[in-house]
Every structure is written in C-alpha cells, then in structure tokens.
Amino acid sequence: MHVLNTIFILFEVVVLFNLLIFVHELGHFLAAKWRGLKIDRFAVWFGKPIWKMKIKGVEYALGSIPAGGYVSLPQMAPMEMIEGKGESTGEPLPPISALDKIIVAFAGPLFSFLLALFFAVVVMLIGRPVSEAEATTTIGYVEKDGPAEKAGLLPGDKILEINGRQVTKWGGMGNSVMWSVVSSEGDTIAVKVLRGDKEMTFNPAPVKDPTKPWQRKSLRQIKVDAAQSAVISKVVTNSPAARAGLRKGDEILAVNGVKLYDIGGLREYIDGHPAETNLNLQVQRGASRIDVAVTPEKPINLPDEPPLIGISEWLGNAKWQLVYPSAIQQVRDSVGAMISTFGALFSKKSDIKPQHLGGAIKIGQVYYTLFSNENGWRLAIWFSVLMNVNLALLNLLPFPVLDGGHITLALIEAVRRRPVSAWLLNWVQTACAVVLIFYMVYIAFFDVQDLLPAGGKDNKPKPPPVFAPKQ
C-alpha cells in the first residue's frame, strides 16, 4: 500500500511539474503560429527524445533530461546545443521582424504568469493550508548554548521585528523570521520580542554549521525554532505514558506548571529537573482539560539514556488553518520573494550564493513533500503560483538562451535596423548554453545530496525505547 501511495504521489509530481513547462512552451508555440514562424519541434524536457511524433510538419517530443522544454524556431536565435538540429537546419528561411521575435519570446513568460494567476484564483477559492509553526512568530525552542540562548532569548518570546523589519510569520520568504535571519548582514542581529507585556531587544550573533567542501554552505542561524503544539502521535507499550493513560491525539500543555511551547520542551524539562521524579502533565483531550501524573523511567534497551516517559512520536504541525489570500496578493508576494532572493544573491555581504538556489530535482522534492501532506493538492497549487511567477521572471532575464536574451537581441536588432551577425550570435548562444548546462549540473549536484540521508554515526536513529511490563 505504501509503495502504491509513493507511485501515485510521484505521478502527481510529474503531471503538475510538466504542466508548468508545457504551458510556458505553449505560449511560445501559439505565438509562433500566430506570427507565421517556421516550427521544427515542440519539446518538453531536453536531451535525446524518448518519444516523438510528427504532426503537420511539427515534431512533438519528450526529452530524456527532465529539466525544462523548448520550441525549436530556426528563424529565432540558434540554440542547436540545447535543441539539437531540426529539419530546417541550414535551410534558407525568410527573415522575421524584431517585433515578431519579441512577441514570440515574451509569450512564454506571459503564459507562465497567466497560469500563476489562474492557480492564485483557485487558491483564493479553495484556501491555502497554513501550519501552526509557519503562522506564528513565537519562539518554541531555543538550542542550549546557541546564539539565541546566549543573547537571552527564551521560549515563549514573540518576535516582533528583526533588524528593524516587522515579521508576521515564521517560515517562507518575505517578512518571515527565517528569511530575515538568513538574509541578514552584520555581526549581530537585532531581535525585538514581546515577553509578557514588555518589549525587549536582543542581539544574538548568528552562526553557520560546518559543512564539507562538496556540500552547500550553511546559512546564518540563531538556533531557535517556532512554537508548535505538543500533540502525541504514538505511545510506547508498557511505558510510563501508557500506564498513565496518555494516548494518541492528547496535547500536552504544561509540565509541573511550566507551559510547553514546543515538542522538545517536555524532554528538556525532564533532563533539566532530574530530581523531580513525579511529573504532573496538563493535557488537552478533545474539549476536556485533564491532569495526568507520570513518573519517567529508563528503558531497558537504552541503559545510557536519561529517564523517559515513552512517547515515541509526535504529530508535527498538528494544527492547520485555511486562509484565503486574494489572487493579486499571492502574485505580489511571489514577485516580492523573487526580488528579495535576487537582492540577497547579488549583495556582497550576503551569505546567499548561486549554490543555494534549487533546480528541477529540488522542485520535484518540494512537490513530493507537499503532495505527501493530507492537504497535498491545496499546498501544491499554492506553491505553483510561486513557481510560475519564478519561471516567468527568470526567463525574462537578459541572458542569451533565455527568453529575455531573445528580447534583448531583438531590441538591438531594431535599433541597428539589421540582425546581429549570425556567426557572432551562434558563438554567443553556444557559450551561454554551455554556461547554463554547467550551472544546471552544478545545482543538481547539491539537489541530489539533499535527497540522501545524512551520514555519520551521530545521525543514526536510535531504536525505539522498550519498557519492562508491569502489573
């Protein structure tokens, strides 16, 4: 059953990912038809075709390298290195105007943008699921001896501003806690919080985890995580938690009167109070709030572990809410995310580099993760708004091989009143194609590493605890 579910999720990823590519290339195709251009091939994916069919003089193909697509138009700038040779290669064809080139090149990004707007309208109607951890700005976990703890930040602090910029959510781009930290500059980060009814400012010095030479460089962190409810998913048989009557779905609110802001809060309390052998847990069970007494004990199969109560799994992001952002707001946020990314990318003081961008493999991984959620389609459609806006704006960059490069060349042609030298154009396109292919391989190298489990003995999962049966 699990294998079938995985196959179905992969199928969903392939369908939606290729829809984005298909619609973009369809824009070029329809515009070329409208302007009367010669069309050799309409291809989704690059590389040697694994499937192709010719209809009315146009070859439709599915490539072997799952990254992008193209419409082969021999009257535009040559791109044989990516597209391969078409039936019109070397054949004299009537020239087309600079305006025709601009229209055809711009049509791809336009169709991507229109698809983004369509998805945004769908999200506006069906809603976008937002997890508890994403929506909050309250700190749930502060790593021991980390920058935040050393600066004085505590679980329960509600972050208001970072470096003078208001934050309204924890994750994602824009005005979020995580993006404000990773894109920050300087030796310290000014974090303004609300603690109780008092506003306070702390200045943690961010750190970066060590990485190996072949890994993506770590980004700045202050070692905090978002607050989220501690909801039980699985209780170990014969454990103190099982004997106390705790069960799946129970939410632990506090331990011995200390409020929990995170799943790890209970573990930290037990480790930090070894003398307190009797714990009183305040538990939310459905509409009722109950007190549960439990005594931690050491599992028989993990003698070196501290005492545990026997909760082996927690429901991460147990609480979700549906929000209904306007279509315009979604597109505006996506454009803002792109601007913020490129602002950080080209800043000399920023730690964000080209290696931190994701390629086709990373995008597929994100879609797979989203589809694995019970709100999969809603999340995937929302993410597709961002992806289509990215696809539109990235392709409009004035880089040869991209649509923006075609538009730039057409504008130069319009000003000069004659096309750019075919010899020069061929060399420029080929050189830029080589750069683009190498960059795609470079990014794919890091993307593949993200799919692999972390190595090292310290990262091996511990076996689930086993407790001796008691009467």
- Binned at pLDDT 50, 70 and 90, residue 457 comes out as very low
Least confident of 89-93, 160-164, 248-252, 446-450: 89-93
- Binned at pLDDT 50, 70 and 90, residue 455 comes out as low
CA–CA distance from 7 to each of 19, 157, 360, 457 (Å)?
Answer: 18, 42, 19, 31
88 pLDDT higher than 70: no
Tens digits of per-residue pLDDT, 328-377? 999 999 999 888 888 888 888 788 888 888 888 888 889 988 888 888 89
Least confident of 64-68, 148-152, 285-289, 377-381: 64-68
In angstroms, the CA 144 to CA 297 distance is: 24
72 pLDDT higher than 50: yes
- According to DSSP, the β-strands at 41-46 and 58-62 are parallel
- Report angle CA 71, 109, 12 to the nearest 5 degrees: 80
In angstroms, the CA 305 to CA 307 distance is: 7
Location of structure tokens 């060590």 = 210
Higher pLDDT, 464 or 170: 170
Q: How many CB atoms lie within 10 A of CB 459?
A: 8
In angstroms, the CA 408 to CA 394 distance is: 14
In angstroms, the CA 77 to CA 401 distance is: 8
Alpha carbons within 13 angstroms on the beta-carbon side of residue 456 total 4
Contact 101, 31 (CB under 8 A): no
Higher pLDDT, 144 or 120: 120
pLDDT of residue 376: 86
The arithmetic mean of pLDDT across residues 255-275, rounded, is: 86
pLDDT of residue 89: 56
CA–CA distance from 437 to each of 41, 43, 62, 346, 442 (Å)?
Answer: 20, 17, 18, 21, 9
The closest alpha carbon to 318, from 374, 240, 382, 390, belongs to: 374
To the nearest whole number, what is the mean pLDDT of the chain?
Answer: 87
Least confident of 18-22, 121-125, 243-247, 428-432: 428-432
Q: How many CB atoms lie within 10 A of CB 435?
A: 13
CA–CA distance from 79 to each of 76, 255, 305, 410, 432 (Å)?
Answer: 9, 65, 61, 15, 10
User: Which structural domains are found in the chain, ordered by start?
Assistant: 2-23+99-127+377-451 (no CATH), 131-226+317-322 (2.30.42.10), 230-311 (2.30.42.10)
188 pLDDT higher than 90: yes
Contacts 24+ apart (CB under 8 A), 284-292: 284/250, 284/251, 284/253, 285/249, 285/250, 285/251, 286/249, 289/253, 292/244, 292/245, 292/246
Contact 301, 466 (CB under 8 A): yes
Q: What percent of the chain has pLDDT over 90?
A: 37
Name the burial class of residue 190, with classes exposed (0-12), middle (13-18) and buried (19+) by CB atoms within 10 angstroms of its CB. Answer: middle
The set of residues, in sequence order, having a beta carbon less than 8 Å from that of 425 and lying 6+ positions away, is: 77, 78, 409, 419
* Token digits of residue 121: 């309208």
Tens digits of per-residue pLDDT, 40-55? 889 888 778 888 888 8
Backbone angles phi, psi at 201, to 5 degrees: -125, 130
The set of residues, in sequence order, having a beta carbon less than 8 Å from that of 402 and lying 6+ positions away, is: 394, 395, 396
Least confident of 65-69, 89-93, 101-105, 124-128: 89-93
Backbone angles phi, psi at 18, to 5 degrees: -75, -25
Least confident of 59-73, 97-111, 138-152: 59-73
pLDDT of residue 207: 93
The arithmetic mean of pLDDT across residues 89-102, rounded, is: 80
CA–CA distance from 254 to each of 250, 266, 272, 379, 424 (Å)?
Answer: 12, 8, 15, 32, 71
Contact 358, 352 (CB under 8 A): no
Name the burial class of residue 447, with classes exposed (0-12), middle (13-18) and buried (19+) by CB atoms within 10 angstroms of its CB. Answer: buried
The set of residues, in sequence order, having a beta carbon less than 8 Å from that of 20 and lying 6+ positions away, is: 112, 115, 384, 387, 388, 391
